[in-house]
Each structure stands twice: as C-alpha cells, then as structure tokens.
Chains A and B, each alone.
Chain A
C-alpha cells in the first residue's frame, strides 16, 4: 500500500465512521426550531443544553437509565459467575464429553433470540416474571453466558497450569485451586468478560421490548424506540438520549478494545 493510498483510505474511513456520530451529537445541541426549520445545518447555533436537561426533567429517561444499569449489573454478575465456573471446567478439568460441551457452548451462542422470544415469553409469563426486570435477569444470560464462557475458556487455557498443579499437589481441592489460584491470575480476562456481558446487556432490544410493557420499567433502547414512534416532537431530546446511552459503552470499551481481536475472534484466527 503506497503511503498516499493509505492516508486517503484512512481519511475516507474516518469520515465514514465519524460523520454519523457527529450528526447525532450536533443535533443533540440544537433547538427544536433549528431542526424543524433546517437552519444552520452543520453547526448548532445557538448551541443549547436544553435537550439534555429536558430529557432529564420531562421524560422518563432517568428511569430507563436506571433500569438499564440495574439490569446490566445483575446480568454481568450472574454471567461472570456462571461463565467462569463453566469455563474452568472445560479449560482445566478432564471429563468425558469435554469437547462436546465446548462445541455446545459455541452453538448456543449462535441460536438467535428471534427464535426463542415467543416461547421464552410464555415461560417467563408462567413464572410471573414478565413486565419486571426479573424477566431480563433470566433471559439475558442465555446469550451472555455462552459468549463469555467461550471467551474465558480461551483465557484460562492460556494461563500456565503449574501454579494450580502445585496447589493440587499440596492437597488443595479443585475448588480452592480455582478460587485462590486461578481467579486472581485471570483477573484481566474476568474484567474483559464482565465488560462484554455489560455491553451485550446494555444494548439488547428485542427481549426488553417483548418482555416488559410498563413505561417505567423499560430499558433505554426500548424507551428510545418509544420516543421515536410516539410523541415525536422532541428530536433533539432523542439525539441527546442517544449520546448519553453511548457514552458508558465507549468508556468501558477503552479498557477492552485490546481483547476485541483476541477474545472476539477467539479461535477463528488462530484456528
């Protein structure tokens, strides 16, 4: 790649990726009139915070934000526990059918929510969990756990076994070896897995849409969808909400982007 081509390509990709984000952000600082009458398209003039304050005081956005945060935290907790336990078993323990379990975990990740959402709805309705965040606590792990388990298997396998073996020889049980020896070593991996679980949970839409109806109990993605198809005179607020929703994920992402290649494509590159 000649240098010139590289720089042109870089510039084009930068534009392609950043322009849509900038469009939303800039609209979030425009007044309703400015958007409605298409004045001063590219730069917000006057620059205003009213959409952000309005979002907070006039809509249910704060509630939705709370719901999203609570859901993401609870699901991350559940996921990390289940995934690290299961991942350890596949990575370290020898038992019949181990390869089968590894394959199964991958396959589970590929089952689309679009297939399960109707029967899952019935099951959750029978448990009385619909229209409560509990429905999400139960259903989100169905896609976060397989993915995070797969991720952690890779992490655990990359850690040296000697320390655990030493512990085992000293008479410690597998559980102690897991908890006292491996986990501290695997901390970076656990953090990555937790952040993935948080992000997957934060961005999820279909289950949140179908399982919860009460406007005070929905999560942010569902709330945004509601705003656009409902009383839509608050375009600026909708943009502001989009900006606010994206920030946590981007912030967390700074920590894990190193692992995006390694973890995300776990195995597909290394074969």
Chain B
C-alpha cells in the first residue's frame, strides 16, 4: 500500500483532514512537551543559568568546560562500562533463558510469565532490593548472610564499598531486571525460525551444537540486533537504578550521564551546565535511533 498520493482530491484530502483531527492531541503533546522543552534545553546549554539568577548567553562555554572536565570523562567511561557489560550479559543470559524455555513444553507460558517478573517491577524497588542483597550488614544483606552461614566468609564483605564492587552491583541489578525481556524476545524469535531448517540439518547429521550456531543464532540475528540496540539506548540513560543504589558513589565510581546531570542541575544549581551534560548523550542516541529505525521499519510496508 503506497502512501504517496498521486493526485490530491476527494477521498485522499478528506482523509488528510480527518487524520489531522485524530492526530491533533498527539501533536499538541509532542510539540508542547517534547519538542519545545528540547529546544529550550539547547538554548539553556548556551547560557550560564544558575538557579535564582537570570541567565546570560555564553555560547559554547559549557560545552568546552564539560568536555575538559575530568569528572565528566569518568562519567563517560562509567556509562560505557555500565552499558556495554550489562547489555552483553543480558544477551548471553537471554539466549540461555530462551534455550531453556524452548525445551519446556508443558507450562512454558507459565514459566515465561514468571520469569518476566523483574521486568515489570518498579526499578526503584529493584534498586532497593539489590542494595539489600549486597548490604554489608548481615541482617539485611542476603549474600553476606548466605556466605557467612556456609562458612565461606568469616567477615561480611562490603561489596559496594569499592569502585569495582559498586559498579558490579549496579550492573547486576540492571542485568537482573532486563534479561527476561531478552529471553522472551529471543524465545519468540526462535519460534519463528522454520522447523524444516532444523529437520534438514538433523537429517544431514548436524549435532545440537552445530544446529545452534548455524541455524538458531543466524535466525535470531534480527531480533538480537533490535533488542540490543533498544537496551543500549535505555541502559545508557538509566537513572533510577544507579541513583537509588549508590547515588553515583563511592566517590564518582558509578556516576553516569543522568545522575551527574541531576547532581549538577539540582545539587549545584547550575542548569546550563547540567543540560549540557545531558546533551552530550544525544549523538549516541541519534546513532542508536537511526540504526533501530532502519531495522524495525525495514520490512514494514
């Protein structure tokens, strides 16, 4: 169905009018609360806005400051580590989950639903939950209690007190929350791979391993790419989990784009600079969005 009008008359232009009517609320929302704030954000980034004082235009001063700020360099590094490691773990675990579920015949829907629980739970609660899982206080910290009981530990470990430990903790919380989404997507993707391919391969004497690498994985390529890109975009902008678990600490060990922007804007009251930090993510976002759009809309008519 082509949507390019060849002539503007009658049914087409009437439909356009109706379409505009139906789309009006959406446009108002989008223009008023997304485009307009975005435009204001760009303007703010070019000023030295400090709360309580009127702003002054300063050109690219914020950008230069942020680009040279060593705290920001750490933020970029942290954000990348957090995102890449977390997404990689999700892909692997998602595959494992899909494989396991595909072997379950009775009750598959039930388990699939059960496994999605982390995905639907509020991220604040997930952050609190994992904060307590890692807590150094045995009464609250499950891992410490468990390991102490097993005799594997003689003293509780302060998992989140070191930079590496804190980063691992937030990555785990983020991963735990999201891998079921990967699992379910991959499972659905696997279901759409034609059975004949597997049957033919078995006939040819290919073992489970080969079937996995040569049929399943390639068949999942499309799903994997889309899900990974989506997750990359969502993870690099994550605020909730890190803010609630560590506030970006200890020191700045887990400070990422969103939490740093929040601290600068609402802690130090420097809005110009705070917005600039957020804007630095935009290039990454744009690339991610372009890639996803191309994949998601490729075969759509």
- CB contacts under 8 Å to B, within A122-146, are 122-123, 138-139, 141-142, 145
B101-130 vs A, CB cutoff 8 Å, 1 = contact: the mask equals 011100001011111111011111100111
Residue pair A112, B233 in contact (C-beta under 8 Å): yes
Give a binary string over A130-164; 1 marks a CB under 8 Å from any B CB, 0 the rest.
Answer: 00000000110110010001000000000000000
Q: Is the CB of A17 within 8 A of B180?
A: yes
| Selected contact of B132 from candidates A27, A119, A250, CB within 8 Å | A27
Q: Tell me which residues from 241 to 271 in chain A have a Cβ below 8 Å from any Cβ of chain B.
A: 242, 245-246, 249-250, 253-254, 257-258, 260-261, 264-265, 267-271
CB of A57 within 8 A of chain B? no
Chain B, 105-159, CB within 8 A of any chain A CB: 109, 111-118, 120-125, 128-133, 137-140, 142, 145, 149
A224 in the interface (beta carbon within 8 A): yes
Q: Known: A9-B96, A24-B129, A268-B185. Is A203-B239 also a contact (CB below 8 A)?
A: no
Most chain B CB atoms below 10 A, which of A14, A210, A224, A271? A271
Q: A23-B142, A94-B12, A246-B122 are in contact. Are A261 and B185 (CB under 8 A)?
A: yes
A138: chain B residues at CB < 8 Å are 33
In angstroms, how far is the closest chain B Cβ from the Cβ of A187? 19
Asked whether B223 lies within 8 Å of A265 as measured between CB atoms, the reply is yes
Determine whether B37 belongs to the interface, using a CB cutoff of 8 Å to chain A.
yes
Q: Does B282 contact A (CB under 8 A)?
A: yes
Contact A6 B176 (CB under 8 A): no
B-side contacts of A225, CB under 8 Å: 124, 243-244
A123 to chain B, nearest CB (A): 5
Interface residues of B in 80-111 (CB under 8 A from A): 96-97, 99-100, 102-104, 109, 111
* CA of A36 to CA of B138, assembled, Å: 8
Q: Is the CB of B140 within 8 A of A235?
A: yes
Known contacts A89-B19, A264-B181: does B125 contact A242 (CB below 8 Å)?
yes
Could you mark each residue 9-26 of chain A with 1 if its beta carbon is under 8 Å from any beta carbon of chain B, else 0? 110011011011101100
Q: Is B240 an interface residue (CB 8 A)?
A: yes
| Cβ of A65 under 8 Å from chain B | no
Question: CB of B214 within 8 A of chain A?
Answer: no
B210 within 8 A of partner (CB): no
Decide yes or no whether B217 CB sits under 8 A from chain A: no
- Give bound CA distance, A110 to B26, whole Å: 16
Number of interface residues of B (CB under 8 A): 107
Q: State the majority secondary structure of interface residues on A.
A: helix
A202 in contact (CB, < 8 A) = yes
Q: Is the CB of B258 within 8 A of A116?
A: no
Instruction: Say yes or no: A82 contacts B25, CB within 8 Å.
Output: yes
- Asked whether, in the complex, the Cβ of B117 is within 8 Å of the Cβ of A174, the reply is no
Determine if B22 and A88 form an interchain contact, defined as CB atoms under 8 angstroms apart. Answer: yes
CA distance A39 to B4 in the complex (A): 71
The reply to whether the CB of B50 lies closer than 8 angstroms to some CB of chain A is no
Q: Which residues of B contact A174 (CB under 8 A)?
A: 15, 18
Interface size on A, residues (CB 8 A): 98
B23 near A114: Cβ-Cβ < 8 Å = no
Q: Are A110 and B292 in contact (CB under 8 A)?
A: yes
Q: A86-B25, A116-B37, A264-B181 are in contact. Are A175 and B18 (CB under 8 A)?
A: yes
A206 on the B face (CB < 8 A): yes
Asked if A10 contacts B300 (CB within 8 A), the reply is: no
Contact of B133 among A23, A41, A228 (CB under 8 A): A23
A99 engages B38 (CB within 8 Å) = no
A21: chain B residues within 8 A (beta carbon) = 117, 129
A93 & B233 in contact (Cβ 8 Å cutoff) = no
Question: Is A230 an interface residue, CB under 8 A from the partner?
Answer: no
Query: Which A residues are within 8 Å of any B CB, using their own CB?
Result: 1, 3, 5-6, 9-10, 13-14, 16-17, 19-21, 23-24, 27, 34-39, 41, 81-83, 85-86, 88-89, 93-99, 101-108, 110-120, 122-123, 138-139, 141-142, 145, 149, 173-175, 178, 199, 202-203, 205-206, 210, 221, 224-225, 228, 235, 238, 242, 245-246, 249-250, 253-254, 257-258, 260-261, 264-265, 267-271
10 interchain residue pairs of minimum CB distance: A112-B237, A6-B103, A114-B258, A9-B100, A38-B139, A1-B103, A86-B26, A203-B122, A89-B22, A268-B226
Residues of B that sit less than 8 Å from A by CB: 1, 3-5, 11-12, 15-16, 18-20, 22-26, 29-30, 33-34, 36-38, 40-41, 44, 96-97, 99-100, 102-104, 109, 111-118, 120-125, 128-133, 137-140, 142, 145, 149, 176, 180-181, 184-185, 187-189, 192, 208, 222-223, 226-227, 230, 233-234, 237, 239-240, 243-244, 257-258, 261-262, 265-266, 271, 274-275, 278-279, 281-282, 285, 288-289, 292-293, 295-300
- Residue pairs across A and B with Cβ atoms less than 8 A apart, 23 shown, are A1-B99, A17-B114, A17-B118, A38-B138, A41-B138, A86-B25, A93-B16, A94-B19, A95-B19, A96-B3, A103-B297, A106-B292, A118-B44, A118-B271, A123-B33, A205-B243, A206-B258, A246-B125, A254-B113, A261-B184, A268-B295, A271-B299, A271-B300
